[in-house]
Chain A
Amino acid sequence: GQNIDQPTEMTATEGAIVQINCTYQTSGFNGLFWYQQHAGEAPTFLSYNVLDGLEEKGRFSSFLSRSKGYSYLLLKELQMKDSASYLCAVRDNAGNMLTFGGGTRLMVKP
């Protein structure tokens, strides 16, 4: 099975940098996804890591260490609109299923 842990809530200041961590223990691994979900809306894809290292996409970056079962999402130059839940998800070996963590609710304050 899959076990995925993320902090429940985080607070950060507009313009700052925040790092959201995700740890996983899985029976299989074939990639890790980060999604953003605003309240009442569907999740939207942010990033994907399958190899170790950092993937950068504008203000957002995601890091993966497979040996440590660890990933983080880094958000730079925070904006008020970044207030949302951030979901970490691990894909199984067959590639058909994602298992989601409980999500981290980020509140950006002025």
Chain B
Amino acid sequence: SQTIHQWPATLVQPVGSPLSLECTVEGTSNPNLYWYRQAAGRGLQLLFYSVGIGQISSEVPQNLSASRPQDRQFILSSKKLLLSDSGFYLCAWSVGGGAEQFFGPGTRLTVL
């Protein structure tokens, strides 16, 4: 069966510090991978998606970046965090071609 992991589960970082969130998927090959952010009490905002290694599409211009160094690994990064980067970050995967998306447990980021 397929599983998706995210770490860390929670993170508190000062403004201006770097960020690296990791997501890995097991039990499937060549998945589509997604990064979403959810502000408190709000819907999900798509940040990045990837259909293959090294292929990243950005939906929202901001100080975040994403990379896919391996087939089942997706990393979200920032060089300098802003207060507005606080939120719940969710990684998701789907089988290519538009099937439902399966979400990881999420990382709750607080920027102080």
Given known A91-B98, A98-B101, contact A103–B32 (CB-CB < 8 A): no
Could you tell me if B43 and A31 are in contact, using CB atoms closer than 8 angstroms? no
A41 neighbours in B (Cβ, 8 Å): 105-106
Given A100-B43, A101-B43, A102-B43, are A45 and B49 also a contact pair (CB < 8 Å)?
no
Chain B positions 61 through 104: 1 when the CB is less than 8 Å from some CB of chain A, otherwise 0 = 00000000000000000000000000010100000111011111
Complex CA gap A94/B43 in Å reads: 22
Query: How long is the Cα–Cα vector from A31 to B49 in the complex, in angstroms?
Result: 18
Tell me if B53 is interfacial: C-beta within 8 Å of chain A: no
Q: How far is the CA of A100 from the CA of B46 in the complex (A)?
A: 8
**A95 and B98 contact, CB distance less than 8 A:** yes
In this complex, how many residues of chain A approach chain B with their Cβ under 8 Å: the count is 24
Task: Answer yes or no: A67 CB below 8 A from chain B CBs.
Answer: no
A104: shortest Cβ distance to chain B, in Å?
10
B102 contacts A45, C-beta separation under 8 Å: yes
Check A95–B97 contact: CB distance below 8 A: yes
- Docked-complex contact A96 and B104, CB < 8 angstroms: no
Check: A73 CB closer than 8 A to any chain B CB: no
Question: Cα distance A42–B103 when bound, in Å?
Answer: 6
| Those of B15-63 within 8 Å (CB) of chain A | 32, 36, 41-46, 49, 51, 59
CA separation between A23 and B46, bound complex, in Å? 19
| 25 A-B pairs in the complex with CB atoms less than 8 angstroms apart | A33-B101, A40-B88, A41-B105, A42-B90, A42-B103, A42-B104, A42-B106, A43-B103, A44-B103, A45-B100, A45-B102, A48-B100, A87-B44, A91-B98, A94-B98, A95-B98, A96-B49, A96-B51, A96-B98, A97-B46, A97-B49, A100-B36, A100-B44, A103-B43, A105-B41
Residues of A that sit less than 8 Å from B by CB: 30-31, 33, 40-45, 48, 87, 89, 91, 94-103, 105
Supply 14 further A-B pairs (C-beta < 8 A) apart from A45-B100, A87-B44, A96-B96.
A33-B100, A48-B100, A87-B43, A95-B98, A96-B32, A96-B49, A96-B51, A96-B98, A97-B46, A98-B101, A100-B43, A100-B46, A101-B43, A105-B41
